Structure 1
Amino acid sequence: MVPTAAEAVTSPPTVADGVSYLPADRSVDLVDLTVGGLLALRAAELPDRPALVGARHGDGREVRLTYAELHAEARRVATALLRLARPGDHVALWAPSVVEWPVVQYGAAIAGVRLVALNPVLRDRELEYALRHSGSAVLLHADRSRDYDMAAVAGRMAELFPGLTVVSLRERDRWRADEADEALLAASPTDPDLPVMLQYTSGTTGNPKGVLLRHRSLVNVARLTMEHVGAPAQAKVVSPLPMFHTAGCVVSVLGPLWSGGVVRIIEQFVPSVVLVHLRADEPDVLLFVPAILGALLEAQRAATEPAPRLPLVMGGASNLPASMIEAAERVFGASVLNIFGQTELAPVLSATRPDDDRQDQLTTVGHPLPQVEVKVVDPVTGAVVPAGERGEICARGYQQLVEYLHDPAATAAAVDGEGFVHTGDLGSMDARGYLTVTGRLKDLIIRGGENIAPAEIESVLVTHPDVLEAAVLGLPDERLGEQVGAVVRLRDEREGLLESLRTHARDHLSPHKVPARWFVAEALPVTPTGKVQKFRLADQLRAGGIDGLRELVG
């Protein structure tokens, strides 16, 4: 029986009665700070400490800001935003990871507006949907990202939405005041339970939903994540993660803010360029998603310069194979930590730690952070399953979403009657509370009545010496209902590849899990955080294939 939230306050942080329920660890208090309040605190304590490094919009010039400078800039931005919008309005930011991104993030928090974080690759229809759905009062946009003319798209949005104020980042005098207006800023929010950000889900299942998050969630997730993984005080952090996602603007930006550290944000991920920064900066922490870490390992393999030493490498967002953890340890001398969560949890639920048992580091997503309850339930009945058995991972705590904006039905479907967020991730909890993720509930392959989790197969396939990346999904089969299909991206293609892949799979998997069909792809359709969009993969396979994809036969 899972206790109510009030009853759970006094529960000890151990797995209850052999079932997959872990009460929240209340031994660590939450902090009652807004995002702007935390920045003001650090600026007062550490005014001359480096806080932020990044490329300026337009010319790419490197900008370095101390905490005092960053706080002053954010207050000027807050002043300008309050001349364009009212507290509580939605202000959309549509830009790559330029240095202005976190400056606007802080300014919006101080102003009391809700920042709508938008992916810079959105096309007209997608951007129109987000602006219409959020009811944004302001669109603050970059002019260009790589070869994408964002200014032209923003101009078309101005025509579509006559009431929308559209401002380019090049128009600094419109989004940044010359001086902070003390009268305007006197009403800056102090309540950490107020909403501060709207994040759109990454779209692995179709249309995105708007996830509304609180100040308290963002500040405490950033703080507790850094403390949980043992990041040092005043940590130097390098983050190639996109700022529009919570992993970027919460863990990468607010994490160093909590520790009094400095973050370098990377505008565009180019592996060889990031390696140069890593060698020069000698950071304490590198943030990653598996696609980024894999690309850095491949780039270092081809490099003539020595590999940078990286004490702490932390990330997640998709399946992290043990082979990649071991490779990063070997190449970068790193302690590689696996972080698990989702946007709805702002975004971290659990993480491994440097002092964890070796098997835990390689095969689990670690122990939940303090102040969050976790249960694993039967996806059909909703009953909590015995410890060690697989089910859907659910969480209840300070960090969960306020709601899906304008979508009470989706909110009710995601949050059960006890207030737990259903993550949609399948996994198990052991007697200590450590979590293992086995896949997504929606991705389950049902082959002749057998439930097969793609993540297990993918973890095996990426240990093949020729495989860089793998995606496993169910394909229709008249006799079995579904059969296992595998799409791989290769390092090298050699003669006898198909038989080599089959043999590798047979050596490590039960016969019913061995893929029946194999495909080779030049690239896999992914979200900006590196999650493979299997619904797109399945749709494109049914439609006759993907550019650069072919089936292996023989």
Structure 2
Amino acid sequence: MTSHDTLTTPALIARGAARYGARMAIQSAALSLTYAQLDAARIEAARALMACGIAPGDRIAIWAPNIAEWIVAALAIQSVGAALVPVNTRMKGLEAGAILADSGARVLFCCGEFLGEQYPSMLAPHRPASLERVIVFDGAVEHACESWQAFLQRAEQTSLQAFRSREADVNPDTLMDVMFTSGTTGRPKGVMTTHGQNLRGAHDWAQIATLREGDRYLIVNPFFHAFGYKAGWLAALSSGATVLPHAVFDPQAVLARVVSERVSVLPGPPTLYYALLDAPDLAALDLTSLRVAVTGAAAIAPSLIERMRAELGFETVLTGYGLTETCGFATLCRHGDDAQTIAQTSGRPMPGVELRIAGPDGAALAHGETGEVWLRGYNVMRGYLGDAAATSHAVDSQGWLHTGDIGSLDALGNLRVTDRIKDMFIVGGFNCYPAEIERLFAAHEAVAQIAVVGVPDDRLGEVGHAWVVLRAGVQADADALAQWARRNMANYKVPRRIEIVAALPTSAAGKVLKYRLREALAEGAGA
């Protein structure tokens, strides 16, 4: 266990500067920083935040792809006792504006342009009144925004002594971030977690994954997600590794970086490894630097594990399971587990984490029996921001988090997640919540009713399938609805198939019977 005094991010980075100094902390084409330089950079940005009047407990958002400045800004936010609110880069202005409003964020750090979208312009019509500043990392600075460089110049208005005093007040129980996750209600909820629990989780995850000083960690998983943030750069920086941020996944570009930058650690969803294995010139590449792979709890074939070891050269391949509500950490396989265990389970609980497969009455079920996955331990969230009812629904009086996932334990205590109580489905590693997609579609003037379910897909694991009932007298076709969806929601949420129907199957109470829709799909597929 890391010592109690390093269980805050400012203490972690200060320790890293003292311990690793000139070793590279972050390496990228646009900006590279040694551990000592990263420490100096987060202090400069933190002093600038204090000059902007940021107080302990304030929320500050980041909406940008994987770049070095993302990490500097995050560490600055946490160094002044404020809470980081990561925003999904796939979100459009309407969605991002809602997260900023719900979190009460006073400041937003964002990129200028990413994947053809102008982020400040996209947000402008949906910018909440509570958002005081938009600071743009790169590109042209629009009206009502300021540049990252101009922001950093404010640092001189705050003395180092004042910063050190503020930093000293950050402790393991200080709120570290508010990460928004959708629930079955469809409205994203802000999960609150502290410095101590996140740093303990990141440290233990790094230990089990055998992350070590000198590792070169290519982070393709988005920084706005716990996998790219907590099991990503936070775990890397707690281990003395070098973070190699990667903004957009492209198999050839990733393989080129593995070769040229001697990447040793490369986590990602199963789709990432399948794409790498399909690369045409794979056998000719020098991939001998690759050592550690960690993938998520999506269904994986044992043959993928074997191929990752044989063709990509990984010596350690692990699978794990976690939720935003558990700081992203809960269970992990261990080095030496066989391919069957790694492929078909999510491993065993991490130290300090309890796991129960609960029956309908909450009693623990025996190995092999299926029930709801419950988790308890230091890693369970402090609650949902401003939503005590949802918090008490998720975490019971004994401290058990009811995950809504269904699973079982094998004889060795490995967790197998078999299904989800919720309707959630996973598209290429991104969680999709039908209720949220349905709520977004409700804004379309032609849509009277909509039902979305996840269906299997060879490439992405699952994709959305929507059935739409149009409003009386209104014309719209599936293509037009899909185009509207692509403009108004993150692309992974856009249903891959939209069917216009006269009516949806409903219960006597008017509830849509999604199991009937799934049955109809299955019958169609089997016909």
TM-score interval for Structure 1 and Structure 2 normalised by the shorter chain: 0.7 to 0.9
Tell me the equivalent position of 1:58: none
Q: Aligned AA for 1:199?
A: M
1:374 aligns with 2:350: no
In 1: Cα distance, 2:96 partner to 2:401 partner: 27
Contact 2:23–2:35, Cα closer than 8 Å, also in 1: yes
Q: Deviations over 1:29-70 (max 9, x none)?
A: 77442011111111011111111123xxxxxx4321100000
Pick one of 354, 358, 365 that aligns with 1:385.
Answer: 365
Deviation readout 1:367-387 (Å, 9 max, x if unpaired)? 111011111101x32221112
Query: 2:304 and 2:338 mapped to 1: Cα distance?
Result: 17
What is aligned with 2:398? Answer: 418
Work out which of the residue numbers 337, 345, 361 in structure 1 matches 2:326: 345
Q: Does 1:161 align with 2:129?
A: yes
Quote how far apart the aligned CAs of 1:252 are: 1.0
**2:212 is the alignment partner of 1:243:** no
SS of the aligned residue for 2:405 comes to strand
Give the match for residue 66 of structure 1. Answer: 34
Amino acid corresponding to residue 432 of structure 1 in structure 2? L
TM-score (norm 1): 0.73
Quick one: which amino acid aligns to residue 344 of structure 2?
A: T
Query: Is the 2:93–2:124 contact (alpha carbons within 8 Å) kept by the matching residues of 1?
Result: no
Where 1:63 maps in the other structure, the secondary structure is coil
**Is residue 58 of structure 2 the alignment partner of residue 89 of structure 1?**
yes
Amino acid at match of 1:258: S
1:490 and 1:228 map into 2 onto residues whose CA distance is 29
Which amino acid letter does the alignment assign opposite residue 308 of structure 1?
L
Structure 1 pair 314–487 and aligned structure 2 pair: CA distance change class (3 A): closer
Pick which of 31-40 and 306-315 moved more: 306-315
User: Which residue number corresponds to residue 308 of structure 1?
Assistant: 287
Is 1:41 the counterpart of 2:19 in the alignment? no
Deviation at 1:443, TM superposition (A): 4.5
Q: Which amino acid aligns with 1:423?
A: T
Deviations along 1:87-121, whole A, 9 cap, x unmatched? Answer: 21111111111211111111111111111100122
In 2, Cα distance between the equivalents of 1:343 and 1:184?
A: 33
Q: CA deviation at 1:183?
A: 2.9
The counterpart of 2:112, out of the listed 134, 143, 150, is 143
Q: Which amino acid counterpart does residue 36 of structure 1 have in structure 2?
A: P
Residue matched to 1:467: none
Listed one character per residue, the Cα deviations across residues 255-304 of structure 1 (whole Å, up to 9, x for unaligned) are 11111111101011122111111111222211111222222222x24657
Pairs within 5 Å for 1:96-175: 96-158=65-127, 160-161=128-129, 164-170=132-138, 171-175=147-151
386, 391, 394: which one aligns with 2:374: 394
> What do residues 164-215 of structure 1 show as CA deviations (whole Å, max 9, x unaligned)?
2222224123432455731331211331111111111166873321111110
AA in 2 matched with 1:359: Q
The answer for unaligned runs of 5 or more in structure 1 is: 1-27, 55-60, 445-453, 463-470, 474-483, 492-521
Aligned equivalent of 1:183, options 138, 161, 171: 161
Inter-partner Cα distance in structure 2 for 1:315 and 1:187: 38
Structure 1 distance, partners of 2:390, 2:303, is: 37
One-letter code of the match for 1:81? L
| Cα root mean square deviation, aligned | 3.3
Pick closer, same or farther for the CA change 1:164–1:290 going to 2, 3 Å. same
Q: 1:290 is matched by which residue type in structure 2? A: P
Ranked by relative contact order (alpha carbons within 8 Å, sequence separation 6 or more), the top structure is 1
2:111 and 2:491 mapped to 1: Cα distance? 25
What CA deviation, in whole Å up to 9, does each residue of 1:383-435 have, x standing for no partner? 21112211111111111111111111111111012101111221112343221
The alignment partner of 1:116 has SS state of strand
Percent of aligned pairs sharing the same letter: 30
1:53 aligns with 2:21: no
Within 2, Cα distance between the matches of 1:266 and 1:393? Answer: 33
Separation of aligned partners in 1, 2:297 and 2:341: 18
- Give the counterpart letter for 2:39 in structure 1: H
Q: Is the 1:234–1:256 Cα contact (8 Å) retained in structure 2? A: no
The answer (yes or no) to whether the contact 2:97–2:123 under 8 Å persists in 1 is no
**2:180 maps to 1:211:** no
- What does the per-residue CA deviation read over 1:205-262, in whole Å, with 9 as the maximum and x for residues that have no partner? 7332111111012211111011112233332211101011111111111111111111
Output the CA distance in 2 between the equivalents of 1:374 and 1:30. Answer: 25
For 1:167 and 1:490, how far apart are their aligned partners in 2? Answer: 37
User: Using a 3 Å threshold, how does the CA distance of structure 1 residues 204 and 234 change in structure 2: closer, same or farther?
Assistant: farther
Q: Structure 2 length as normaliser, TM-score? A: 0.77
1:466-512 deviations in Å (ceiling 9; x for gaps): xxxxx9x9xxxxxxxxxx99543469xxxxxxxxxxxxxxxxxxxxx
Structure 2 unpaired stretches of 5+: 139-146, 435-452, 461-481, 503-516
